[in-house]
């Protein structure tokens, strides 16, 4: 039991890296996609729509296998498993994040837009100083769920040669045949990571909290 | 490497045969998730702290750990404790248990939306607890949660490719086997992706439609 | 049986967490008596009705219906918590009409009324339908039996709720501000129906209401509540026209000014 810990812990670090990297990619992708979705130009709106539907309509594992097995055949180079996994899991999460962000932005009441316009704010100022700050309390809870989903999805990276918890667990399982122990420990590690992530998101939520919904 | 149409047409039927298993796993898995989720939801509203916390703990653990590892765990550990079942059955069971943690939340939200007055009125009319739940509360709680359950169904459908990792011959597994044999991964994997895309888009549209129907009826 | 009180509250204590709502409450209601409870909001009037309907449990004290305790029975000479079957038997003696109707939105009007007689009393469906139709006729809604609750006006909903409670033939009926959610004119019609009902039956009736004219017409006795205590208790003329307590006078003045 003890001898498998170092390997599992090394895997934990990699899982953390994949998840963190994917979250960064997802945040950028979601922001860009929403900006494009909210634009009045069909040439911007449509590609964003296609991106979102494509990634939400298929499953992460298929996307990952496609990027790992099919894409290198058409690309001039082969990305490292780690890069491929972060990119795919990030783009996958970004598609879901875009829907969360868009919903939150659209739910900011008209009156807020009107008031910002009446104050003669530029459209950038309206978005960044009036609309977006109000969406935080709405976005954070579903975003916490999304990040935990992304942590769990990172386990798929172990199926394409990324040496994360899952990958190392499989190796340990094959070499020791202690199935229950190996996968039991893996489950517990993921559970603890999820609790830490959830706790962090809750802190963020408390920090960003203001009385929303009050008519002001 | 270019897309090879004849090859794609050639392998399509093989992959489509995997869809039968994909759909079988989704339907049966969801059925299990619907039943188990309702049980969890009922345990959560019973006035018993011990039941509440153990149910909470179980569903929380299920929701906070990867489905993939849950699959591996059951696939390797079940035979150790003397349970040898086909991989597909293991997969369906794990899918069902995993999603029951999500459906229970949906049920709970549906139950919480029933005004207290409905419970009061049922009590005042002297219905038993079982009658109240089955005849008064559930018929009101279920219709509004149909769309949310539909979304869970689509999510589960998209999780079925994970069953390929425990040797279930669903679509992705077939595609990978074709790829391993022919060294052409582009066509089989793209076909699987497109099939998933088509079905989930259709299903999403259907859910949007029922959602509007339910909103109109209310 | 008739020499026994219909309802007795003995030293009832009820609190929600730290909020003590009823303290040492004693109350006796005679069979067939019509008692109206008035008092400021939050004074515990609904809590009394809800306790009687077993929607709440008292923290201590005893509630008796026709001389029999709701929550306690004697077994082998000792007083013990009553089994669920006993509570159900006691509950069947009481019916209640709520402020917000609480009709079952997924059942049509007729089903709202027949559901309990069929399921709870084990009445045959044909019999239940026949009686529900009679009751609907009595509350003036014979043509609405196949309507959905959502298709009814507030006044119609409350009439259905009254019919639904009557269908179980309770010996005690509780009315908790049944017209507060209605327009004044519609409220008048519903109260008229209740007055009619009250003269036709021998049920014991408890009302919580802010309609003073109705109170005067229907009440054998009026109780004035303040902070969970009965501070005035007498015939309508006495309590409503010559209140002893300054608190009652103030409350009645406010009500008169409001209407
Ligand atoms: N379910 C409950 N939980 C907590 N407090 C309650 C509950 N129901 C009633 N109360 C409190 O009990 C007190 C009496 O309420 P109620 O009997 O409804 O008064 P009334 O009907 O005279 O307006 C109020 O202070 C109210 O806030
Ligand atoms: Mg009240």
- The per-residue pLDDT for A36 is 95
Q: Is residue A215's pLDDT more than 60? A: no
Which two three-digit tokens encode residue B63? 């929701």
Cβ within 8 Å, pair B65-A152: yes
* Residue B25 near residue B89, CB atoms below 8 Å: no
C53 and B126 within 8 Å at the Cβ level: the answer is no
Q: Lowest-confidence range among A122-136, B163-177, C54-68? A: A122-136
Residue-range domain boundaries for chain C: 103-169
Distance from CA of B184 to the nearest CA of A (A): 8
Using a CB-CB cut-off of 8 Å, the residues of chain A touching B77 are 179-180, 183
Residue of C nearest to B136 (CA): C104
Could you give the number of structural domains in chain A?
A: 1
Task: Kindly state whether residue A211 falls inside one of the protein's structural domains.
Answer: no
Best mutation target among B115, B121, B139 (most C Cβ atoms within 10 Å) is B121
- List Cβ<8 Å contacts ≥24 apart for B12-20: B12/B191, B14/B174, B14/B178, B15/B171, B15/B174, B15/B175, B15/B178, B15/B188, B15/B191, B15/B192, B15/B195, B16/B195, B17/B174, B18/B169, B18/B170, B18/B171, B18/B172, B18/B173, B18/B174, B18/B175, B19/B170, B19/B171, B19/B195
Burial (CB count <10 Å: 0-12, 13-18, 19+), residue B216: exposed
> Long-range CB contacts (< 8 A, 24+ apart) of C144-149?
C144/C109, C145/C108, C145/C109, C145/C110, C146/C108, C146/C109, C146/C110, C147/C108, C147/C109, C148/C105, C148/C108, C148/C109, C149/C101, C149/C103, C149/C104, C149/C105, C149/C107, C149/C108, C149/C109, C149/C112
So what's the ipTM on this one? 0.92
> Does residue C2 register a pLDDT over 80?
no
The answer, yes or no, to whether residue A118 has pLDDT greater than 80, is no
What is the reported pLDDT for B46?
87
Residues in B closer than 8 angstroms to A62, CB to CB, are 161, 172, 189, 192-193, 196
Within 13 A of B200's CA, how many CA atoms are on the CB side?
26
When the pLDDT of each residue in chain B is averaged and rounded to a whole number, the result is: 94
Q: Please state the rounded mean pLDDT for residues A184-211.
A: 90
d(Cα A138, Cα A134) in Å, to the nearest integer? 8
Which atom of ligand 1 has the smallest separation from the CA of C208?
A: 21
Residue that the structure tokens 């609904």 belong to: C46
In which domain, by residue range, is A87 found? 14-162
Q: For position A52, which CATH number holds?
A: 1.10.3720.10
Q: What token pair was written down for B150?
A: 């539909």
What's the pLDDT score for residue A212? 53
Q: A147 to chain B: nearest residue by CA?
A: B64
Kindly give, in sequence order, each residue whose CB lies less than 8 Å from that of residue A115, ignoring residues fewer than 6 positions away.
A130
Residues of B with Cβ-Cβ distance to C115 under 8 angstroms: 125, 135
B215 within 8 A of B162, measured Cβ to Cβ: no
* Spatial contact of B110 and B144, defined as CB atoms under 8 Å apart: yes
Q: Is C18 in the pocket of ligand 1 (CB under 6 A)?
A: no
Q: Which of C130, C128, C131, C105 is nearest to C117 (CA)?
A: C128
Q: Is C16 in the pocket of ligand 1 (CB under 6 A)?
A: yes
The pLDDT-based confidence of B215 (bands split at 50, 70, 90) is low
pLDDT in tens, C15-55: 999 999 999 999 999 999 999 999 999 999 999 999 999 99
pLDDT band for B47, please (50, 70, 90 cuts). Answer: confident
Kindly give, in sequence order, each residue whose CB lies less than 8 Å from that of residue A112, ignoring residues fewer than 6 positions away: A130, A131, A134
Residues of C in contact with B121 (CB under 8 A): 98, 102-104
Distances (CA, A) of A77 to A68, A81, C21: 12, 12, 76
pLDDT score for B216: 59
Q: Chain B: nearest CA to C127, how far in angstroms?
A: 18
Q: Phi, psi at residue C153, to the nearest 5°? A: -75, 170
Q: Show the domains of chain B with their CATH numbers.
A: 5-217 (1.10.3720.10)
Contact (Cβ atoms closer than 8 angstroms) between residue B68 and residue B165: yes
Q: What is the pLDDT of residue A122?
A: 77
Where do the H-state alpha helices sit in chain A? 5-38, 42-57, 60-65, 71-74, 81-107, 110-118, 123-125, 132-153, 165-176, 179-208
CA distance to A3, C20, C62, per residue, from C47 (Å) = 64, 11, 15
- Asked, for residue A1, whether it belongs to a domain, the answer is no
Cβ atoms of residues C209 and C46 within 8 Å: no
Mean pLDDT of B147-165: 96
The whole-angstrom separation of Cα B125 and Cα C194 is 19
CB contact under 8 A, B72 and A170: yes
**pLDDT score recorded for residue A123:** 80
Q: How many CA atoms lie within 13 A of B206 on its CB side?
A: 12
Read off the pLDDT of each residue in B109-114 and give the average, rounded to a whole number: 95
Q: Does A194 touch chain B (CB under 8 A)?
A: yes
pLDDT at C188 over 50: yes
Q: Nearest Cα to C43, choosing from C182, C251, C191?
A: C251
Q: Average of pLDDT values for B24-42?
A: 97
Q: Specify the pTM.
A: 0.86
Instruction: Give CA–CA dist A67/A15, Å, rounded.
Output: 19
Residue B217 has a pLDDT of 53
Q: Above 60 in pLDDT, residue B218?
A: no
pLDDT digit string, tens, across residues C133-175 = 999 999 999 999 999 999 999 999 999 999 999 999 999 999 9
Per-residue model confidence as pLDDT tens digits over A35-93: 999 988 999 999 999 999 999 999 999 999 999 999 988 888 888 999 999 999 999 99
pLDDT of residue A108: 87
Q: Residue C200, Cβ neighbours under 10 Å: how many?
A: 9
Report the share of chain B in percent with pLDDT over 70: 98
Whether residue C120 and residue B125 make contact (CB cut-off 8 A), yes or no, is: yes
**Residue C116 contacts B where some CB pair is shorter than 8 Å:** yes
Residue bearing the bigger pLDDT, A5 or A210: A5
Per-residue pLDDT band for C214 (boundaries 50, 70, 90) equals: very high
Query: How many angstroms separate the alpha carbon of residue C170 from the centre of ligand 2?
Result: 22
CA angle, A164 then A165 then A170, to 5°: 100
Chains A and C touch (3+ CB pairs under 8 A): no
Q: Which residues contact B110 (CB under 8 A, 6 or more apart)?
A: B141, B142, B144, B145
Q: What's chain C's average pLDDT?
A: 93
In this prediction, residue C1 has a pLDDT band, given cuts at 50, 70 and 90, of very low
Say if strands C60-65 and C7-16 run parallel, antiparallel, or are unpaired: antiparallel
């Amino acid at each position: 039991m003890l001898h498998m810990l170092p390997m599992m812990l090394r895997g934990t670090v990699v899982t953390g890296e994949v998840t963190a990297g994917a979250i960064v990619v997802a945040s950028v992708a979601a922001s860009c996609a929403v900006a494009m979705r909210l634009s009045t130009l069909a040439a911007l709106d449509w590609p964003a729509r296609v991106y979102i539907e494509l990634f939400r309509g298929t499953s992460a594992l298929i996307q990952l296998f496609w990027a790992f097995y099919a894409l290198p055949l058409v690309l001039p180079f082969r990305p490292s498993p780690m890069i491929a996994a972060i990119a795919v899991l990030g783009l996958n999460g970004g598609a879901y994040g875009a829907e969360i962000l868009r919903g939150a932005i659209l739910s900011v009441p008209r009156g807020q837009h009107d008031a910002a316009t009446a104050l003669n704010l530029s459209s950038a100022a309206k978005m960044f100083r009036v609309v977006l700050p109000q969406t935080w309390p709405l976005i954070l809870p579903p975003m916490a769920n999304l990040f935990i989903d992304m942590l769990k999805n990172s386990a798929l990276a172990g199926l394409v040669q990324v040496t994360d918890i899952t990958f190392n667990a499989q190796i340990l399982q094959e070499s020791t045949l202690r199935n229950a122990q190996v996968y039991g420990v893996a489950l517990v590690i993921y559970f603890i990571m999820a609790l830490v992530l959830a706790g962090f998101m809750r802190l963020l939520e408390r920090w960003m909290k203001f009385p929303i919904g009050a008519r002001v | 490497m270019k897309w090879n149409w004849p090859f794609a047409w050639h392998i399509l039927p093989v992959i489509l045969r995997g869809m039968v298993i994909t759909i079988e796993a989704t339907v049966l898995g969801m059925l299990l998730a619907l039943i188990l989720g309702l049980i969890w939801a009922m345990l959560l509203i019973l006035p018993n702290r011990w039941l509440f916390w153990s149910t909470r703990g179980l569903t929380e653990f299920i929701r906070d750990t990867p489905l993939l590892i849950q699959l591996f765990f059951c696939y390797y550990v079940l035979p150790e404790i003397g349970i040898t079942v086909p991989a597909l059955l293991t997969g369906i069971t794990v899918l069902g248990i995993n999603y029951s943690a999500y459906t229970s939340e949906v049920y709970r939200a549906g139950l919480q939306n029933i005004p207290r007055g409905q419970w009061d009125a049922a009590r005042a009319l002297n219905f038993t607890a079982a009658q109240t739940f089955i005849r008064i509360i559930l018929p009101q709680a279920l219709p509004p949660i149909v769309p949310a359950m539909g979304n869970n169904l689509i999510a589960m459908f998209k999780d079925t490719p994970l069953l390929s990792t425990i040797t279930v011959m669903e679509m992705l597994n077939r595609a990978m086997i074709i790829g391993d044999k022919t060294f052409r991964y582009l066509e089989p994997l793209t076909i699987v992706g497109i099939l998933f895309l088509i079905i989930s888009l259709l299903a999403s549209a259907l859910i949007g439609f029922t959602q509007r129907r339910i909103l109109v009826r209310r | 049986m008739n020499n026994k009180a219909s309802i007795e509250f003995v030293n009832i204590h009820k609190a929600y967490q730290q909020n003590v709502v009823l303290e040492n409450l004693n109350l006796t209601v005679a069979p067939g008596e019509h008692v109206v409870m008035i008092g400021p909001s939050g004074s515990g009037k609904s809590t009394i009705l809800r306790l009687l309907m077993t929607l709440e449990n008292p923290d201590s004290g005893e509630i008796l219906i026709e001389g029999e305790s709701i929550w306690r029975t004697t077994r082998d000479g000792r007083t013990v918590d009553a089994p669920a079957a006993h509570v159900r038997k006691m509950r069947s003696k009481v019916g209640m009409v709520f402020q917000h109707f609480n009709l079952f939105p997924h059942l049509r009007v007729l089903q709202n009324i027949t559901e309990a007689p069929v399921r709870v009393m084990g009445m045959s469906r044909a019999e239940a339908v026949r009686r529900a139709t009679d009751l609907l006729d009595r509350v003036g809604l014979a043509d609405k039996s196949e309507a959905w609750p959502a298709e009814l006006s507030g006044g119609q909903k409350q009439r259905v709720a009254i019919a639904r409670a009557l269908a179980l033939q309770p010996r005690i009926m509780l009315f908790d501000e049944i017209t507060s959610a209605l327009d004044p004119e519609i409220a008048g019609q519903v109260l008229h129906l209740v007055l009619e009902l009250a003269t036709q039956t021998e049920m014991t009736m408890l009302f919580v209401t802010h309609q003073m004219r109705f109170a005067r017409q229907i009440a054998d006795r009026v109780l004035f509540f303040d902070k969970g205590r009965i501070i005035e208790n007498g015939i309508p003329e006495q309590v409503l026209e010559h209140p002893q307590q300054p608190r009652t006078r103030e409350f009645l003045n406010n009500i008169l000014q409001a209407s």
